[in-house]
Amino acid sequence: MTAQGLEVIDHSVHLTHEWINELAGRLDWSSKRSALRLLRVTLHHIRDHLHVDELAQFSAQLPILIRGFFFEEWVPKTTPIKERHAADFVAYINGLMNECEEYRGREDIKCVFDLLNARISRGEIENVRSVMSEDIRSLWTVP
């Protein structure tokens, strides 16, 4: 039992650190803050491609804190977006990561997808990938 008796929060903090540490390791980045930023930006862009039902199913497998980040600034009436090209998907994330010195673009976005493949059920990943255009799916390897 934790000092505050709030195990669910402690567990979510622990899981969130696991995800960030794993992503930083996959990226080979020293900055955990930058790894979290990339995770948030990429999750937001995935979110904006999903219909509400799929979004709810996907988010249910995220740790509570990451789920909160996932829904941050979400405007349901503007989603799903109809972006079709991987280059546009990458360019959007590049624009939000431009201040991160370690960021390398497409290669790092693929690291986020690899993390999701490792942490989210295969069936859910396949469902989310199927919503994306074939060109965007080419960035996200099959789990």
Q: Structural domain tally of the chain?
A: 1
| Residue 26, in any domain of the structure | no
| Residue 142, in any domain of the structure | no
Q: Say which CATH number the domain at 113 has.
A: 1.10.490.110
Q: Is the pTM of this model over 0.85?
A: yes
| Residue 90, in any domain of the structure | yes
> Tens of pLDDT along 44-88?
999 999 999 999 999 999 999 999 999 999 999 998 998 899 999
Give the domain range for residue 49.
7-12+31-137
Share of the chain above pLDDT 90, in %: 89
| Residue 117, in any domain of the structure | yes
| Residue 131, in any domain of the structure | yes
What is the predicted pLDDT for the residue at 3? 53
> Tens of pLDDT along 78-103?
989 988 999 999 999 999 999 999 99
DSSP 39-101: HHHHHHHHHTTS-HHHHHHHHTTS-HHHHHHHHTT--GGG-S-----HHHHHHHHHHHHTT-T
| Closest to 63 (Cα-Cα) out of 3, 10, 140 | 10
Average pLDDT score over the chain: 94
| Residue 78, in any domain of the structure | yes
| Residue 18, in any domain of the structure | no
Task: State which amino acid sits at residue 40.
Answer: R
| Residue 73, in any domain of the structure | yes
